[in-house]
Structure 1
Amino acid sequence: MRLRNIPRAESVLEACKEVVKDPESLRGDWNQTFKKEQPLHIEIGMGKGQFLLTLAAQNPQINYIGIERYSSVLLRAVEKFQELEAEGKAPANIRFICMDANDLPTVFAPAEVSRIYLNFSDPWPKARHARRRLTSNEFFKLYDQILTADGTVEFKTDNRPLFDFSVEELETSELFVLDQLSYDLHNDSTMNQGNIMTEYEAKFSSMGNPICKLIAKRR
Structure 2
Amino acid sequence: MRLRHKPWAVEFIDAHTDVVIPNPEAHKTKWSEVFGNDNPVHIEVGTGKGQFVIGMALQNPDINYIGIELFDSVLVCALEKTIEAEKPANLRLLKVNGAKLEEFFAKGDVSRVYLNFSDPWPKIRHAKRRLTHEGFLKLYENVLIDNGEIHFKTDNRGLFEYSLVSMNEYGMALKFVSLDLHVNMPEDNVMTEYEQKFSALGQPIYRLECQFKSNK
Under TM normalisation by the shorter chain, which class is it?
Answer: over 0.9
Matched ranges for 1:17-28 at <5 A: 17-28=18-29
Supply the RMSD in Å over aligned alpha carbons. Answer: 1.2
Q: Deviations for 1:91-140, whole angstroms, at most 9, x for unmatched residues?
A: 11100001111110110010110000111011111111111111111100
In structure 1, C-alpha distance between the alignment counterparts of 2:136 and 2:5, rounded to whole Å:
27
Q: Which residue of 2 aligns with 1:200?
A: 194
User: Which residue does the alignment assign to 1:152?
Assistant: 149
Identical pairs, percent: 48
- Secondary structure at 2:137's aligned position in 1? helix
| 1:209 is the counterpart of 2:210 | no
Determine whether 1:106 maps to 2:98: no
**C-alpha displacement at 1:9, in angstroms?**
1.0
Give the 3-state SS of the residue equivalent to 2:38 in structure 1: coil
SS at match of 1:152: strand
Distance 1:178 1:193 in 2: 21
User: In structure 2, what is the equivalent of residue 179 of structure 1?
Assistant: 175
- Distance in structure 2 (CA, Å) of the matches to 1:177 and 1:84: 35
SS at match of 1:72: helix
Task: Give the whole-Å Cα distance in 1 for the aligned partners of 2:94 and 2:36.
Answer: 18
Give how far 1:35 is off: 2.6
Offset, 1:168:
1.1
How many Å separate the matches in 2 of 1:118 and 1:172?
A: 19
In 2, distance between residues paired with 1:172 and 1:83? 42
Task: Show the 5 A alignment for 1:153-168.
Answer: 153-168=150-165
Deviation at 1:2, TM superposition (A): 5.7
Aligned-residue offset at 1:6: 1.2
Quick one: distance in 1 between partners of 2:70 and 2:132?
A: 16
Report if the CA contact (8 A) 1:35-1:93 is conserved: no
User: In structure 1, how many angstroms separate the alpha carbons of the residues matched to 2:88 and 2:103?
Assistant: 26
TM-fit CA distance, 1:194: 1.3
Distance in 1 between residues matched to 2:41 and 2:201, nearest whole Å: 34
Runs of 4+ deviating beyond 6 Å: none
Secondary structure in 1 matching 2:85 = helix
Structure 1 residue 36 displacement after superposition? 2.0
Paired position in structure 1 for 2:13: 13
Q: Is the 8 A contact 1:10 1:71 kept in 2?
A: yes
- Written as runs of structure 1 = structure 2, the 5 A alignment for 1:107-122 is 107-122=104-119
Give the 5 Å matches for 1:21-60.
21-60=22-61
Q: Which amino acid aligns with 1:186?
A: H
Instruction: Name the CA distance, whole Å, in 2 between partners of 1:187 and 1:27.
Output: 40
Structure 2, unaligned stretches of length 5 or more?
A: none
Determine helix, strand or coil for the equivalent of 1:149.
strand
Q: What is the TM-score with the length of structure 2 in the denominator?
A: 0.94
Query: One-letter code of the match for 1:184?
Result: D
Partner SS for 1:196: coil
Q: Which letter maps to 2:43?
A: I
Q: Distance in 2 between matches of 1:109 and 1:97?
A: 16
Matching residue's letter, 1:194: D
Q: Show structure 1 runs of 5+ residues with no match.
A: none
AA in 2 matched with 1:3:
L
